[in-house]
């Protein structure tokens, strides 16, 4: 019985030792694999940097990389050893840099849906067209180019600007090639109508407005001196008061009309006073209606 117990004890000890040894080995192994994957990915990304083929060209490398990193993480002991181990935290940092590169290029977008393939198709068509029509690419391939461009713009709109960077780069190159190398983008600076419009719609009203304002003011202020001569005052009023006075005085009717008006009112009123019959009251009220607008 005791023998059996001793045996069991030894076995368990052995086992735990073995287990520990196993674990150590596999952690080192896992890290080694991760390092390998990282270096492959870095090599791939760097070699395919211009023109950018990161997303399409390095996909298997990236998948391996994430896979081995996940393996390392899933092992509780290993992740304890290699992650949060010290201040520099090498493994997590290098991994972070590489993942960040992938995310910054919006690479996952290339593998969502099939727009990447559709774009490729259209690009191939345009490329074929360009190489077929070396002498006059602009007219021959214009339709293809516009189609590709429209497709790209639509994609950009749908993804809110985060298009897979491979496609972005390819589009930029295509556009650059199209407009700079082939000189097919022919936008013309034709601004004759615009200049005419500026003169007619803007300058003319502005000048008219200010000239009118100045002329009107000058005319209004022509009464300035006149007013001063008429009523010499010891305490000269301010300019603004004079202007208001001038406005009011120009607005009123000439003295003759005013006198006539006064007379009219007086006549009407005295008339109303003299005969107090209802008929003439009506009359006078009629007259008043006539007078009223002038007063206002």
Number of residues lying near another protein (CB under 8 A): 60
Smallest distance, Å, CB 268 to another protein?
A: 8
Stretch that binds another protein, among 24-32, 35-43, 61-69, 239-247 (CB under 8 A): 239-247
Interaction between residue 13 and another protein (CB under 8 A): no
- Window contacting another protein (CB under 8 A); options: 53-61, 69-77, 100-108, 260-268: 260-268
Question: What residue has token string 């870095």?
Answer: 42
Instruction: Please name the residues in contact with 186: beta carbons below 8 A apart, sequence gap of 6 or more.
Output: 138
What value, to the nearest 5°, has the Cα angle with vertex 167 and ends 166 and 169? 65
- The distance of closest approach from Cβ of residue 123 to another protein in the complex, given in angstroms and rounded to an integer, is 15
1, 189, 274, 289: which one binds another protein (CB under 8 A): 189
Alpha-carbon gap, residue 185 to 10, rounded angstroms: 83
Least Cβ distance, residue 57 to another protein (angstroms): 21
**Rounded least distance, CB 108 to another protein, Å:** 19
Gap between the Cα atoms of 6 and 18, Å rounded: 18
82 binds another protein (CB under 8 A): no
In the Cβ-directed half-sphere of 154, how many Cα atoms lie within 13 Å? 10
Q: Which residues contact 147 (CB under 8 A, 6 or more apart)?
A: 122
CA atoms within 13 A on the CB side of 247: 6
- Binding piece for another protein, criterion CB under 8 A, among 76-84, 120-128, 129-137, 233-241: 233-241
**168 lies in the binding site for another protein (CB under 8 A):** yes
Q: Is the CB of residue 146 less than 8 Å from the CB of residue 93?
A: no
Q: What angle, 0 to 180 degrees and rounded to 10, lies between the N-to-C axes of helices 239-251 and 204-221? A: 90
Among 18, 197, 260, 290, binds another protein (CB under 8 A): 197
Give the nearer residue to another protein in terms of CB position, either 2 or 193: 193
Residue 169, token pair as written in the block: 């780069």
If one asks whether residue 160 binds another protein (CB under 8 A), the answer comes out as no
CB closer to another protein, 81 vs 140: 140
Q: Which of 238, 254, 277, 279 binds another protein (CB under 8 A)?
A: 238
C-alpha distances in Å from residue 239, one per residue of 191, 204, 207, 210, 231: 47, 31, 26, 21, 15
- In angstroms, the CA 63 to CA 56 distance is 12
Chain residues that interact with another protein, rule: CB under 8 A:
149, 168, 171-172, 175-176, 178-180, 185-191, 193-194, 196-198, 201-202, 205-206, 209-210, 213-214, 217, 231, 234-235, 237-238, 240-241, 243-245, 247-249, 251-253, 258, 261-262, 265-266, 268-270, 272-273, 288, 294-296
């Amino acid at each position: 019985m005791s023998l059996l117990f001793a045996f069991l004890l030894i076995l368990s000890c052995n086992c735990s030792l073995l287990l520990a040894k196993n674990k150590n080995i596999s952690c080192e192994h896992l890290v080694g694999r991760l390092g390998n994957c990282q270096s492959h990915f870095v090599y791939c990304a760097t070699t395919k940097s211009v023109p950018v083929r990161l997303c399409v060209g390095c996909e298997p490398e990236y998948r391996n990389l994430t896979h081995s990193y996940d393996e390392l993480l899933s092992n509780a002991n290993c992740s304890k050893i290699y992650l949060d181990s010290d201040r520099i935290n090498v493994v997590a940092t290098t991994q972070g840099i590489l993942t960040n590169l992938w995310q910054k290029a919006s690479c996952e977008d290339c593998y969502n849906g099939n727009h990447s393939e559709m774009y490729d198709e259209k690009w191939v068509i345009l490329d074929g067209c360009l190489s077929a029509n070396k002498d006059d690419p602009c007219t021959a391939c214009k339709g293809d180019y516009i189609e590709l461009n429209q497709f790209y713009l639509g994609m950009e709109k749908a993804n809110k600007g985060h298009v897979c960077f491979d496609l972005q780069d390819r589009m930029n190159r295509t556009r650059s090639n199209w407009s700079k190398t082939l000189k097919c983008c022919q936008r013309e600076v034709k601004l004759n109508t615009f200049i005419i419009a500026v003169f007619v719609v803007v300058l003319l009203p502005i000048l008219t407005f200010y000239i009118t304002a100045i002329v009107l003011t000058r005319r209004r202020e022509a009464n300035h001196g006149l007013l001063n001569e008429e009523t010499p005052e010891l305490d000269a009023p301010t300019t603004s008061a004079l202007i208001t006075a001038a406005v009011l005085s120009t607005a009123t009717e000439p003295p003759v009309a005013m006198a006539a008006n006064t007379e009219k009112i007086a006549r009407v009123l005295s008339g109303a006073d003299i005969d107090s019959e209802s008929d003439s009251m009506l009359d006078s009220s009629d007259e008043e209606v006539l007078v009223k607008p002038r007063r206002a």
